[in-house]
Amino acid sequence: MSTGARLIEVEEVHKRFGGVHAVRGVSLGFDAGTIVGLVGENGAGKSTIGKMIAGLLRPDEGRILVAGQEVRFHTPRDALRAGIGIITQELSIIPSRSVVENVFLGIEQASFGLVSKPALRKRYAELAELTGFEIEPETKARDLRTAEQIRVEIMRALARDARVIVMDEVTAALTFDESERLFEIVRTLRERGTSVVYVSHFLQEVLALVDEVFVMRDGLLVKQAPASEETPKSLVTAMVGRSLDVVFPPRPAVPDDAPVVCSMKGITRAGVVEDVSIDVRAGEVVGLAGLIGSGRTELVRCVFGADPLDSGTVEMLGEPVKIRKPGDAVRAGIAMVPESRKDQGLMMGRSISENVTLPHLDQVSNGGVINGGREGSAVRALTERLGVRAPSIRTLVETLSGGNQQKVLFAKWLFRSPRFLIADEPTRGVDVGAKQQIYELIASLAEQGLGVLLISSELEEVLGLSHRVLVMREGRIVAEFPQGVSQETVMQAAFGEQPTVVPHQSAGRNAS
């Protein structure tokens, strides 16, 4: 397009973290007004590249040029001044500040001196209108859920008229409508000459959105091609170095005499969950489908003791159990892999081992003294089974790639050999290979006699793994289908009427 220099030029860049050579001599570039996709397995180096472009990390070797000029950013703010913003997997909002303050952080003083509150409120309203995000501007950021915090980060990047915005797995926490809206915004940005680096594991979504796609594997750039020439399958082949189809493991029939592991009766929480009863039997995977906001996560949070019930009971193997807090659920043999690894699951500054064993210290200690050997071998066995990629179990969780963090979260909940597993979005943010491992794990846990309740916004995943699918709408169970039901049938039940548009694959992901 232009005769001059490219907007971004990454030249022979390397990045090491201790012994890990995360990025090994990568060169790539793109022009103004292009959307580029960055894909690869967990730990391939995608986020590291994104962070170097945005000044959150500095390359050990190699150069980064912006419009032909070599830049050396010292802080993300330097990068922002050069017109480069980033929205990352690890959020960077300031918890004690309000939403508006977070969105306009830094720009008020820089460009206008003191800006009047009404003026900021007006600009905020414009951004809210543009994005369709509905967040009360005066709320303190710490009171927001993860998904809302991501929305704040998106507005913050948009408020700055950046020339380049790196988006690292942003849609994982957005609803279907919000994702669609974001794609529209990204396309509008492109028309205005802004470039977007889009990192995602949703390959179909990437191909539909981007102009050009870069594939990384083990810190190297292994493929670069126009999106129009690629398919999800061709990308996966490049990502893993061989062709790989996601296959759902076989589902052995649940024996007729299999006991009911968990029986939920009349679970009600005013306004969100209405009189839900579900029996899950040993060896059975029950899928829970429904639109965002249909009450799935709210239901399982009640059952797990994370939120209070208004009425209803839970029985484990026929015995009523009182669950007032998650600890009660864990003792009763219930495990839950929650939606968000960051705010509900992991301590980022602790090791893999500590994260896995902390809720279960009574099992690895003798009279208060932790038995290091027992702990180590149990954690190693689990992390190996889950395919956690890390130098050792002493590695700090914050240094792991996003997908490997998800696997650690799984390990934490499996440590105590539960009887009933609630998996809420178990494969969010994990790559195709790891997905396959998690599918096999869920199937094998069921085969070993666990009951599993599975929530996933990838409808394909729910249908591929479950013996039975329940559909929730407005807090109630509205339909039940046996294995083999079609995606369309389930979506219709979830919408409650004929959807005008038959949702495509990514609709299935977000809307279920």
Ligand X SMILES: Nc1ncnc2c1ncn2[C@@H]1O[C@H](COP(=O)(O)OP(=O)(O)OP(=O)(O)O)[C@@H](O)[C@H]1O
- Contacting positions for ligand X (CB under 6 A): 17, 20, 22, 40, 42-48, 399-404, 431
User: Residue 312 binds what, of Mg ion, ligand X, none (CB under 5 to 8 Å, by partner type)?
Assistant: none
Query: Is there binding between residue 402 and Mg ion (CB under 5 A)?
Result: yes
- The option from ligand X, Mg ion, none interacting with 40 (CB < 5 to 8 A, set by class) reads ligand X
Q: Taking contact as CB under 5 A, which single stretch among the options 200-208, 349-357, 398-406, 447-455 is the one that binds Mg ion?
A: 398-406
CB atoms near residue 267 (< 10 Å): 24
Helix (H, G, I), strand (E, B) or coil at 446: helix
In this structure, what are the phi and psi dihedrals at residue 380, rounded to the nearest 5 degrees?
Answer: -60, -45
Q: What is the 3-state secondary structure (H, E, C) of 190-251?
A: HHCCCEEEEECCCHHHHHHHCCEEEEEECCEEEEEEEHHHCCHHHHHHHHHCCCCCCCCCCC
| Least distance between ligand X and beta carbon 29 (Å) | 19
Burial of 397 (0-12, 13-18, 19+ CB in 10 A): buried
**Dihedral pair phi/psi, residue 96, rounded to 5°:** -80, -10
For residue 280, which phi and psi values (nearest 5 degrees)?
-120, 125
Q: Judged by CB, which is closer to ligand X: 45, or 283?
A: 45
399 binds, among ligand X, Mg ion, none (CB under 5 to 8 A by kind): ligand X
Position among 23, 28, 40, 47 found at the interface with Mg ion (CB under 5 A): 47
State the virtual CA torsion across 166, 172, 178, 184 in degrees, nearest 10: 40
Q: Looking at 116-124, 221-229, 397-405, 450-458, which segment touches Mg ion (CB under 5 A)?
A: 397-405
Could you tell me which stretch among 39-47, 100-108, 204-212, 348-356 binds Mg ion (CB under 5 A)? 39-47
Closer CB to ligand X, 98 or 399, in the complex: 399
> Closest approach of Cβ 396 to ligand X, in Å?
8
Distance, in Å, from the CA atom of 237 to the CA atom of 279, rounded to the nearest integer, reads 40
**How near is the Cβ of 294 to ligand X at its closest, in Å?**
28
- Rank residues 22 and 459 by Cβ distance to ligand X and give the closer one: 22
Which of ligand X, Mg ion, none is residue 20 near (CB under 5 to 8 Å by kind)?
A: ligand X
Tell me if 88 contacts Mg ion by CB under 5 A: no
3-state secondary structure of 414: helix
Q: Which is nearer to Mg ion, 47 or 406 (CB)?
A: 47
Question: At closest approach, how far in Å is the CB of 265 from ligand X?
Answer: 39
Counting residues that bind Mg ion (by CB under 5 A) gives 2
Burial of 287 (0-12, 13-18, 19+ CB in 10 A): buried
Look at phi and psi of residue 275 and say left if phi exceeds 0, alpha if psi is from -120 to 50, else beta: left
Answer yes or no whether residue 43 interacts with Mg ion by CB under 5 A: no
If one asks whether residue 45 binds Mg ion (CB under 5 A), the answer comes out as: no
Residues 270, 331: Cα–Cα separation, whole Å? 26
Nearer to ligand X, 28 or 103 (CB): 28
Residues forming the site for Mg ion (CB under 5 A): 47, 402
